[in-house]
Chain A
Amino acid sequence: MGQGITDSVFHIEGVSIAAEQIFVKEQAGMKQTNVDSLVMQNKASLSLSDLLSENTSVFIKNHGRGALATASFRGTSPSHTQVSWNGININSPMAGMVDFSLIPVYIIDELNLKYGSASLADRSGGIGGSININNRADWNEKNSIEYMQGIGSYSTFDEFLQVGVGSKKIQSKTRLYHNYSENDYTFINRGIAIIDPVSGAITNPIDTNDHAAYLRYGLLQEIYYRPTSNHLLSLKYWGQYADRTIPKPTSYEGPDNSNLNSQEDRDHRLVADWKFYGNFGKLMLRSGYADKRLDYNQMNQVPGLGLIPAIWSESRQKSLYNTLYYSGALDGDLSWEGNIDLNYHQVGSADSVSGAGYEGQRNEFSMMFAVRKSFRDRLNLNLMLRQEWVDGFRVPFIPYFGMDIRLIEGVDLLLKGNIARNYHLPTLNDLYWQPGGNPDLLPEEGFTVEGGIAYQQEFSGHLMETELSLYRSQIDNWIIWIPSYRGFWEPRNIRRVLSKGVEYNIQLKGFISEFNYRLSATYGYTSAVNEGDPLIWSDESYGKQLVYIPLHSGNMMAHLGWGNLFFTYQFNAYSERYTTSSNDVSRRDRLYPYFMNDISAGSTFRLKRVDLSLELKVYNLLNEPYHTILYRPMPGRNYQLVFKIHI
C-alpha cells in the first residue's frame, strides 16, 4: 500500500526532478514502478494499451487499432495480470482478463505496476503481475476547467473535459470524454487476389479498413471529503459505453452485408472508502460495485428476411467488493498490516440465437497479514501471508517473503529478492461455459523466485534510476482450451510453463543549460516455455516458447523541453512472435520483429490566466506497412493534433 515518499525535489520551471525513497520495508523484495506523470500526460489522449506497450515491459497483444488489447506480464496469460481501479479488481470475472483498449489514459492519475509476486501485496492471482489504476485528490486545487481536443487521421476525434471544484476540505473532479474513430485507413490486402483472367498474374488490392469504427464515451466522478486531518472519505464513479465494429477477416470476399460483427461494452464502477489515521495506525474500509454488460453479435443478410443475427450474445457481470484494512507500526523499524476481502461475483451469459448460455456466481474470502522489519537502515524484511477461500473451497496457503539489502551505507544501491507462491483461480467461463466449461478445474499454481539490483543517484540536477531483475516462475496446472473428444473446446489443466526472464529499466532526467530532458528505456528478455507433458509423441510444443510472447522486447522514450517547446521521441520493439505452439515459422504466418517510431512536438503558452498547449503527434513515422496479428494490417504514418486549454 505504501507509495514512495518524496525526499528531495528540484523544481525548475514547472518540471520537477524528484527522487523517490526506494528503501522501504513495506516494499521489501517487491519490484514495482510508477509510470512517470510526464508519460501519462504525453499519452493522455490514448488508451492504456498504447501506454503499457510503449512505456513498460508489459507486452500487449493488440488485435488492431481500437480493438481488443490484452496484456502479458512476464510471459503469462492475460488473466494472470490483475488490474485494479482505486483498489477494486476490474478483471472480468467471466473471461479473467482486461481489454486495455477500453481504458483511457485520461482517467488515470497514478499508474502503478507490480511485477510478479509483488502483486501479492494487493491480491492473489497476479502470477504475471498487477496493474493498478488510481485517482487521487489534489488538495491544493481550487476551481479549474480543462478541455482537450484531439483531431487525428482516419476521422478520429477525441474530446476530454475536466472540471474541478473544491477547497481544503472537499474536492470534486469530473471528467467527461468522448472518443470516436472511423478507423478507415487503407492497406495492401495480402489476403485477397485480383487474378488476371488472361495472364493469371496476381495483384493485391488496396483496401480500406471497413467495419472497424469505434466509439467510446464515459464519465469519471470523484468526490473527496476531509472533515479533519485524520479522516478521509471518497466516492468515485466511472461509467463507460463503448461500441465497436469488429472487422471481418481481411480475406473475406462474401457479400457486403454479411459477417458483420459488433461489440458493445457498458461498464459502471463505483467505489467508496473511508480512511482513518489514528495513533494506532491506519484503518480503511472500502466497498465497491462493478457492473459490466458485454453484447456481441454477428449479422448476415438473408434474402427475403433482411439482416438476421447468427450470433446474439449478451452477458452481464456484477461484482461486489469489500475490504477492511489496517496497518500499524512500532517505532520506525517494525510495521504490520492486515487485510480482509470479501467479494462476490454473479454472471450470466446467453446467446438468443442458439439459446446457449450459463449463469454462475462466486464468493471469495481472503485474509492477508504482513509484517515488516527494518534493521539499521541496511536490511528490510517483508513477510506476507495470505489465505483464501472460494465458495467454501480453501485455496492453498499463499506465502511471500522478500528482502532488500542496502549494499553501501547512505547509497541507494539495493540488492532485492523474493520468493513466493501464488494461485490463479479458473475463471467463471473456464468453469461453466456452455458447452465445454469444466467445473473440475484446479487453480493454476505459481512458484516464483526473483532477485535484482536497484540503484538511484542524483548528481547536480540529474537523477538516474535503474533496476535490473531476474525471475524464474514455474506455473503448474496452466489452463488452456483445447478440442475434446466430445466435439467442442474444453479447458484443461494441462500445461506446465516455466517463465524465466530479465528485466532492465533505466530513467534519466535533469537539466542541461536551458533544456530539460528525460530519457527512459526498458528491456525485457522473456523465456516462457511449455514444459507440460506432450499430448502425443508427435506433439512438438514441448520446450517451446508460448505463442505471442516475444523473447526480446524493449522501448525507449526521449523527451526534451526547451522554454515553451517540447519534443518527444518514442521507440518500441519486439522480436518475432510465434503463432504456433511448435514455434514453426512460415512465410505465410510470420510475425516478424516489430520496430515502431513515433514523434511528437508541441508548445505550451499562457494567455492572461489561461494555459494553452498545442501538440502534433506522428505515429508510425517511417510509414512502414506491418501487422502484429496475422492478416490484420495496421495503419501507415498517421497524425494527431491535440489542443488543450486549462483555466
Chain B
Amino acid sequence: MLIRKLIYIGLPLLLSLTGCMEDDQLWEFERPVYDLPYSGIFVINEGNFMYGNASLTYYDPETRQVIDDVFFQTNALPLGDVAHSMTIRDSLGYVVVNNSGRIYIFNTSTFEVKGKITGLTSPRYMHFISGTKAYVTDLYARSIAVVNPQTMEVTGAISVSNSNSESYQHATEQMLQYDRFVYTNCWSFDNQVLVIDSELDRVVDSIQVLKQPNSMVLDRYHSVWVLCDGGTEGSPYGNEAAGLLKIGAGSREAQIVHRFSLGESPRDLKINGTGDTLFYINGDVYRYAVNAYADPELLVESPYKGNMWTGFYGLEVDPYSSEIYVADAIDFVQRGMVYRYTPEGVPVDIFRTGIAPGGFCFNF
C-alpha cells in the first residue's frame, strides 16, 4: 500500500527535520562561585524596557577586575525589566527593578540572591530609615511604600496623591534624609520636593522648585541641592530653563543658585565624599563647589560631537577617593562603557558594562 509506504518514509523524515530549540540549555550552566573582598563598585545596567535584560556589572577599583552580569551568572536568574537603582546595607544589596515591580536582595560578596520584596507598582529608589524600615519611591503608585527589609514585606504606604491636579502627581524619585525628615523629588511633570516625617510616615511639607527636579544631594552643611531639568520643549507641562537650587539646612524654601540656558537638560547631580563639591552631567561633566558661588566648571568633556547625543548617561563619585565614574550607554542597544577619572578629570580606566548603564553603587 502506498499510504503505508508514505508513513514509513514520511514520518522519520518529518522527525529528522526537527531541530530542538535550546530553551532548557540556556538555564543549565556551571555557576561561578565568588567570595570577594568587601570593596567594589556595582554598575546598574537598566537594559531595555520590556526586554528583561537588566544586569549588574561588578568592578574592583584596586585590581581593575570587571565581572560581567554577576547577578545572572551567580543565580541563573535574570534581574528583570529595567533595573533602576541600588542600595547597600549590612552587606546586602537591594536592587530596585522598576518594571518588574520588585527589589532583589543579594549578598554583595558572593552575589547570591537572598530574597525579594514584591508588590511594588513601579519602584524607583529605596532609602533606609532603620534596619527594619525603608521607603521605596514609585512612579505610578502615588504613594511611597514602607517596607521591612528583614521580613521582606511591604508594611505600609505614604500617600503622595495630589487630588487637585489633572496630572499624575506625585511621582516620587530620589530620597535623602536630614534629621528625621526625608526629602523626595517629584520629577515627572512636577516641580515639588516633598518632605516626609519618617517618624509619622507622612508628608508634612512640600517645597516648590523649578520644573522637573531630577536629582538631589545633601552637602556637608546639610543643605539639599536640587537639579531641575526644566521640562522639555513642546511638553504640555511647559518648559523653562533648567536650574540648580539649594534648600538650606532645615529650611523649607529653595533658592536658585545657577540657571542654565533654555534647551539644556542637565542630569545626575552627585556629590563627593566630603560633601563640598557637586558634579552633574550637562552633555559633558561639570563640577561646582558648594560654597564657591562661581560658575560651574567643565571637568570631563563628552567624546560625542555636537549636542546630538545623550553622550554620558550615568555619573557617580567615589565617596573616599573622589574619583569620577561616568557611564556611556552608546546607542542603548549594545553593551555600554564606563570611564573612570581622577578627581581632576584625568582618565584612569575604562571598562564595558551591560546594556544601558545608568547608575552605580559603591560597596565600601
Interface residues of A (CB under 8 A from B): 190-191, 193, 195, 197, 200, 202, 249-255, 258-259, 300-305, 308, 310, 353-357, 434-435, 482-488, 492, 512-515, 535-541, 547, 556, 560, 562, 569, 571, 573, 579-582, 584, 586-590, 592-595, 597, 622, 624-627, 630-631
Cβ contact of A538, chosen from B23, B81, B328, cutoff 8 A: B328
CB distance from A529 to the nearest CB of B (A): 15
Contact (Cβ within 8 A) B335 A304: no
- The 29 sampled A-B contact pairs (Cβ below 8 Å) are A190-B27, A190-B78, A197-B115, A249-B99, A249-B100, A251-B97, A252-B81, A254-B100, A255-B120, A258-B140, A259-B99, A300-B141, A305-B163, A310-B139, A353-B167, A354-B189, A434-B235, A435-B235, A540-B335, A580-B334, A581-B334, A584-B334, A589-B51, A595-B19, A624-B20, A625-B24, A626-B23, A631-B78, A631-B81
Cβ contact of A354, chosen from B75, B168, B310, cutoff 8 A: B168
Cβ contact of B26, chosen from A356, A560, A580, A592, cutoff 8 A: A592
CB distance from B281 to the nearest CB of A (A): 10
Which residues of A lie under 8 Å from residue B72 when comparing CB positions?
586-588
Which residues of B lie under 8 Å from residue A250 when comparing CB positions?
52
CA distance A590 to B78 in the complex (A): 12
Contact (Cβ within 8 A) B334 A258: no
Which residues of B lie under 8 Å from residue A253 when comparing CB positions?
100-102, 116, 118-120
Which residues of B lie under 8 Å from residue A627 when comparing CB positions?
23
Which residues of A lie under 8 Å from residue B121 when comparing CB positions?
254-255, 258-259, 300-301
Contact (Cβ within 8 A) A355 B167: yes
- Which of B246-254, B300-308, B318-326 is near enough to bind chain A? B300-308
CA distance A514 to B141 in the complex (A): 67
User: For chains A and B in complex, what number of residue pairs have CB atoms within 8 angstroms?
Assistant: 240
CB distance from B96 to the nearest CB of A (A): 12
CA distance A537 to B283 in the complex (A): 17
Query: For the complex, is B219 an interface residue (Cβ under 8 Å from A)?
Result: no
Contact (Cβ within 8 A) B100 A303: no
CA distance A300 to B101 in the complex (A): 12
Cβ contact of A353, chosen from B99, B116, B168, cutoff 8 A: B168
CA distance A513 to B2 in the complex (A): 9
- Which of B57-65, B177-185, B226-234 is near enough to bind chain A? B226-234
Residues of chain B at interface, number, CB under 8 A = 87
Contact (Cβ within 8 A) B310 A483: yes
Which residues of B lie under 8 Å from residue A594 when comparing CB positions?
21
CA distance A571 to B77 in the complex (A): 32
Contact (Cβ within 8 A) A304 B161: yes
Contact (Cβ within 8 A) B159 A536: no
Contact (Cβ within 8 A) B116 A515: no
Contact (Cβ within 8 A) B140 A300: yes
Query: For the complex, is B357 an interface residue (Cβ under 8 Å from A)?
Result: no
Residue of B nearest to A358 (CB): B234
Contact (Cβ within 8 A) A486 B333: no
CB distance from A324 to the nearest CB of B (A): 39
Which residues of B lie under 8 Å from residue A515 when comparing CB positions?
2
Contact (Cβ within 8 A) A587 B26: yes
Known: A581-B331, A582-B335, A593-B21. A251 touches B113 (CB 8 A): no
CA distance A354 to B141 in the complex (A): 16
CB distance from A102 to the nearest CB of B (A): 20
Cβ contact of A541, chosen from B3, B19, B303, B331, cutoff 8 A: B331
Question: Digit string of B19-41 for contact with A (CB within 8 Å is 1, else 0)?
Answer: 11111101101000000000000
5 new A-B contacts at CB < 8 Å, known A197-B115, A253-B100: A254-B120, A354-B237, A492-B308, A582-B334, A624-B23
Contact (Cβ within 8 A) A535 B304: yes
Which residues of A lie under 8 Å from residue B304 when comparing CB positions?
535-536
Which residues of B lie under 8 Å from residue A562 when comparing CB positions?
3
Query: For the complex, is B114 an interface residue (Cβ under 8 Å from A)?
Result: yes
Cβ contact of A200, chosen from B112, B139, B334, B355, cutoff 8 A: B112
Which residues of A lie under 8 Å from residue B120 when comparing CB positions?
253-255
Query: For the complex, is B12 an interface residue (Cβ under 8 Å from A)?
Result: no
Cβ contact of A487, chosen from B48, B189, B265, cutoff 8 A: B265
CB distance from A469 to the nearest CB of B (A): 24
CA distance A30 to B14 in the complex (A): 34
CB distance from B233 to the nearest CB of A (A): 7
Contact (Cβ within 8 A) B69 A588: yes
Known: A573-B19, A579-B53. A485 touches B140 (CB 8 A): no
Query: For the complex, is B332 an interface residue (Cβ under 8 Å from A)?
Result: yes
Contact (Cβ within 8 A) B333 A580: yes
CB distance from B337 to the nearest CB of A (A): 5
Which residues of B lie under 8 Å from residue A586 when comparing CB positions?
69, 72
Cβ contact of B80, chosen from A191, A302, A514, A538, cutoff 8 A: A191
Query: For the complex, is B329 an interface residue (Cβ under 8 Å from A)?
Result: yes
CA distance A191 to B308 in the complex (A): 35
Query: For the complex, is B18 an interface residue (Cβ under 8 Å from A)?
Result: yes
Which residues of B lie under 8 Å from residue A589 when comparing CB positions?
51, 53
Known: A579-B51, A588-B72. A191 touches B237 (CB 8 A): no
CB distance from B194 to the nearest CB of A (A): 16
Which residues of B lie under 8 Å from residue A485 when comparing CB positions?
265, 283, 307-311
Cβ contact of B14, chosen from A251, A304, A305, A569, cutoff 8 A: A569
CA distance A434 to B100 in the complex (A): 27
Contact (Cβ within 8 A) A303 B157: yes
Contact (Cβ within 8 A) B333 A252: no
Question: Digit string of B124-153 for contact with A (CB within 8 Å is 1, else 0)?
Answer: 000000000000000111110000000000
Known: A482-B331, A547-B333. A597 touches B17 (CB 8 A): yes
Which residues of A lie under 8 Å from residue B348 when comparing CB positions?
none
Contact (Cβ within 8 A) A193 B29: no
CA distance A573 to B18 in the complex (A): 9
Query: For the complex, is B204 an interface residue (Cβ under 8 Å from A)?
Result: no
Contact (Cβ within 8 A) B113 A252: no
CA distance A308 to B307 in the complex (A): 37
CA distance A592 to B19 in the complex (A): 11
Known: A253-B100, A259-B101, A536-B328. A488 touches B20 (CB 8 A): no
Known: A200-B112, A354-B189, A435-B234. A254 touches B328 (CB 8 A): no
CB distance from A429 to the nearest CB of B (A): 14
Query: For the complex, is B84 an interface residue (Cβ under 8 Å from A)?
Result: no
Query: For the complex, is B76 an interface residue (Cβ under 8 Å from A)?
Result: yes
Contact (Cβ within 8 A) A193 B77: yes
Choose among B52, B80, B329 the residue with the greatest number of A CB atoms under 10 Å from its CB.
Answer: B52
Cβ contact of A486, chosen from B24, B48, B263, cutoff 8 A: B263
